[in-house]
Amino acid sequence: MVDAHGKVRVAVNGFGTIGKRVADAVAKQPDMVLVGVTKTRPSFEARRAKEKGYPLYLAGGGSAADFAAAGLPIAGTLGDLLSKVDVVVDAAPDKVGRENAKLYKDAGLRAIFQGGEKADVAEASFNALGNFEACRGKRTLRVVSCNTTGLARAASVIVPRWGVDHWEVTLVRRASDPAETKKGPINGILPTFHLPSHHGPDVRTIFPELSIATTALVVPTTLMHVHVNHVRLRRPPVDSKEVLAALAS
């Protein structure tokens, strides 16, 4: 599963908020080669991909003529890209990844999905600190959402050291990413209408035995998320400094 130079060939399907960061990371790896990225329309992100030298491929119902008119000729279609790689990172919008999963399976590719997809889109949910070894060898993985990743990282520190009797989390989350302010409430605070919020069940896809309950509020900002954690430890530490030192490490 490597090219002639011994590098893993990677496609990033979707060059948006998540995909552009994944593509930059892949491009920096000495054992990988970024074969290409996809866009459905000739947006500023598509132009940025060209500026970075990332081959641009057409996904979804996009028009090659639209890209050509914008001065952004494409290297081919998503199908062309999939025929040239060993693994695809799906950074398409939520729910589109599930539709793409069949394409990857038919192409015989390993695939990694972003956290907006439901857990059953892949064989396992992944967090590098939480369950790296358990995910080794899987053909499909879902990297959990940013909020779930934060909780899973904290759990990977706390659970093995002190154990957890129960974990309560309130998440105050931004309404949308900076470029997508139209998605969120303009002047309001919106509670999650499903209890628990998806984050707790998502954390349990990594730590199945963890007793954790999560609720969430959406607030009109694009700045960041805030987590308020109340954790009842099974084996109390000597003092709070011990916990802070473990997290800092």
Residues designated as active site: 146
Pairing of strands 190-191, 212-219: antiparallel
Burial of residue 71 (CB within 10 Å: 0-12, 13-18, 19+) is exposed
Q: What are phi and psi of 26, to 5 degrees?
A: -60, -40
Full DSSP string of 96-148? HHHHHHHHHHHTT-EEEE-TTS-GGGSSEEE-HHHHHHHHTT-SEEEEPPHHH
For residues 36 and 54, the answer to whether their CB atoms sit within 8 Å is yes
